[in-house]
Amino acid sequence: MLRFASDIVFFAQRPEITDWLTPVWLLSVGIAAGFVLAIFMLIKLAVLQKIPLFNSVDTKTAKYHVLSLLLAAFYVVLFLFYYRWQYGTLAVDKDLIFALAFVIPLCLLVGYGAWRLVSKSMAGETWSFATEGFLGWMNRIGIVFLIFAVLGAVLAPFNGFGIVKFVDDPGEMMASLARLPFAGSQVVEMKVPPSPIDHSGDTAQLKFSGAELVGISIKTDQQIEVSTEPITPETSRNLVYDIEANEEPIVVAKNFARLGEQNYDTFYVNNLGATAANVRIEVRTAPVIPQVAIIPVAAIIVVMIYLFYMLFCVLAPKVAAIALSTFKTEVSQPLYLLVAVIGMAFVVASIFIPYNTFGEDIKLYKDSGLTLIRVLAIFTAIWAASKSVAEEIEGRTALTVLSKPVGRRQFIFGKFSGITLAIGLLFIVLGLWFVIWTSYKPIYDGRETSQKVKEWSQCFTEATYIIPAIFLCFLEVVVFVAISVSLSTRFGILPNFLICFAIYILGHLTPMMVQSDLVEFAPVVTFSNLIAVIFPVLDHFDVRAAVNNNELVPPQYLGWAIIYTFLYGTIAMLLSLVLFEDRDLA
């Protein structure tokens, strides 16, 4: 603790602090960029709401549906262009189908919601729900990270004025960010006839910078020579790769490529075999600082949060009104603040706990932090559902709400949405706080074991690779929100807690029961299958193995987790409608 306090006092004297805060600064730039883009989006909406060509589309006419579908189709086409540019093909495969399964519904949502957002009637509403409630809190978070990002850029050229420096060279990082769209893979396939003696090589055009090279992959069915210079007797043999025929590609990593930092545009290939060679050369590049990729990802996530919340408000106004009221009520509860403070305090205190794992403390730190955030969020969700649904039904408050032009379905979905927004805010706050301190954990452990962190990229990897795990924890809690809201239509807070606790235990034990040695015992098989069908398989949301090994969770896995959450949440909400439909509120 004393050593940590000395870090806080003597910022400028410790480069470890810059290693800690550089990943935080990159994340801050992404969040700040998304926040600024969201503000510009609001300004654009305010302008369009004053233009008669856009603000006069009536939602009850066929014109509204036609324009909405055209706008959705336009966004789908943009995505297809991006997909082809990113992967070099539009072949209909499982990856493209899986991506379109998400993109098409989202584009339809944006298409229909956009015309409502620019309608004249929304002129006063847009600004209100963009500055209060959930987005009001998002604005505060965005401002904090914007200030941090600006301070980091301002302090770096002056070496932190001898006080603190968040990042060493933000200009170099922005240069790498500008190169990010040009990174990726370039592939050339060619047929090379047997080469005569003293042949300089058949050419393949591949433009890349040696400084940005990640690796070169070469596949051939004949023995070949490959070089970035014309192959002559005077050519340095260090620049000529002798590749044997192989069914699998030969991968030449950057540290073995023996290339300089300059730009290259041509490969020269000599075929040493007796027949024509089929050659495939792939060059993979990345910016000099590849970690800058988190900036556009974070910015897109922030913009999507703003956009989809506003679309939710205009497409389901009655549900959104109940959700906003529920959100404000839950966030203002003392328990909500207490849970946030406990979570933040535990995240910081856990850094200094000796786990006695022989240099693997950070794995237990990440595991315990994720578990704590998940458990605290589930506890808050169950408490909020019981207080917001069960007590309003028992206290006749729900009867007062339903006496207005609000149906039972809108009431239930509004409560579910409001609690989910409150839990989402809790995850954003605790998740970002956890990411910040996970970036510091390698530095603290390195000093305790006399193995200092060599580069800030190690802190970046440890911190950012837990973000998908935090998102999966949020999806798991959303399932419990749906279950708890369903139970709250009939039960009070104590039965709700007991049932959800049993579901949590059984949901995490199901894979172990199915794979146990008793799997051939008929009662165990029947019971395990019954649990797997009725209760959610919560092990789908647990990726601690990937987190501990610093492996990035694939986007496809996150997509399937979203689908699973949507399907199970839909079933739970339908059950809640059935239970609430004939509930006597009087």
Tens digit of each residue's pLDDT (9 = 90 or more) over 24-53 = 999 999 999 999 999 998 888 888 888 887
Length of the chain in residues, anyone? 586
Q: Are residues 224 and 343 in the same domain?
A: no
* pLDDT at 9 (0 to 100): 45
Q: Where are the alpha helices (DSSP H) in 88-169?
A: 94-117, 125-131, 133-155
Which strands sit side by side in the sheet containing 240-243, from one edge to the other?
A: 202-209, 263-271, 224-227, 240-243
| 311 assigned to some structural domain | no
Q: Which CATH number do you get for residue 273? A: 2.60.120
Provide the 8-state DSSP code for 543: -
| 419 assigned to some structural domain | yes
Question: Using CA atoms, how far apart are residues 252 and 220, in angstroms rounded to an integer?
Answer: 14
Task: Choose among 483, 511, 515, 522: nearest CA to 499.
Answer: 483
- Per-residue model confidence as pLDDT tens for the chain (586 residues): 545 555 544 444 477 888 889 999 999 999 999 999 999 988 888 888 888 877 787 777 888 889 889 999 999 999 888 888 777 677 777 878 888 888 898 899 888 888 888 877 777 777 777 888 899 999 999 999 999 999 999 988 887 777 778 888 888 999 999 888 888 888 899 999 999 888 888 999 988 888 888 889 999 999 998 988 888 887 777 778 888 888 788 888 877 777 888 889 999 999 988 899 999 999 999 888 889 999 999 999 999 999 899 889 888 888 988 999 899 999 999 999 999 999 999 999 988 887 766 667 888 899 999 999 999 999 999 999 888 887 777 766 666 666 667 788 888 899 999 999 999 999 999 999 999 999 998 888 777 666 676 788 888 998 999 999 999 999 999 999 999 999 888 888 888 889 988 888 888 776 666 565 555 556 666 666 677 677 888 888 988 888 888 888 888 899 899 999 999 999 999 988 888 877 666 5
Q: What does the radius of gyration of the chain's CA atoms come to, in whole angstroms?
A: 28
| 396 assigned to some structural domain | yes
CA dihedral angle for residue 525, residue 528, residue 532, residue 537, rounded to 10 degrees: -130
Question: Using CA atoms, how far apart are residues 344 and 78, in angstroms rounded to an integer?
Answer: 41
| 498 assigned to some structural domain | yes
**Burial class (CB within 10 angstroms; exposed 0-12, middle 13-18, buried 19+) of 575:** middle
* pLDDT at 25 (0 to 100): 94
Cβ neighbours of residue 121 closer than 8 Å, sequence gap 6 or more? none
Q: Are residues 347 and 281 in the same domain?
A: no
Q: Are residues 377 and 504 in the same domain?
A: yes
Say if residues 123 and 84 touch (Cβ distance below 8 Å).
Answer: no
| 447 assigned to some structural domain | yes
Question: Using CA atoms, how far apart are residues 545 and 549, in angstroms rounded to an integer?
Answer: 6
Q: Are residues 425 and 493 in the same domain?
A: yes
| 167 assigned to some structural domain | no
Q: Are residues 427 and 468 in the same domain?
A: yes
Rounded (10°) angle between helices 133-155 and 317-331: 70
Q: Which two tokens stand for residue 148?
A: 């941090």
CA dihedral angle for residue 409, residue 414, residue 420, residue 421, rounded to 10 degrees: 160
Domain count, the chain: 2
| 550 assigned to some structural domain | yes
* pLDDT at 383 (0 to 100): 92
Which strands sit side by side in the sheet containing 246-253, from one edge to the other?
A: 184-192, 277-285, 213-220, 246-253
* pLDDT at 239 (0 to 100): 77
Q: Are residues 507 and 550 in the same domain?
A: yes
* pLDDT at 395 (0 to 100): 65
| Residue 248: φ, ψ to 5° | -100, 145
Q: Are residues 539 and 435 in the same domain?
A: yes
Q: Are residues 378 and 430 in the same domain?
A: yes
Q: Are residues 388 and 519 in the same domain?
A: yes
Q: What is the dihedral sign for C-alpha 162, 165, 169, 171?
A: negative
* pLDDT at 523 (0 to 100): 67
Say if residues 500 and 586 touch (Cβ distance below 8 Å).
Answer: no
Q: Where among 285, 306, 334 does a domain terminate?
A: 285
Cβ neighbours of residue 8 closer than 8 Å, sequence gap 6 or more? none
**Burial class (CB within 10 angstroms; exposed 0-12, middle 13-18, buried 19+) of 394:** exposed
Q: Are residues 450 and 565 in the same domain?
A: yes
Q: Are residues 355 and 432 in the same domain?
A: yes
The residue segments making up the domain with residue 506 are 317-586
| 451 assigned to some structural domain | yes
Q: Are residues 258 and 405 in the same domain?
A: no
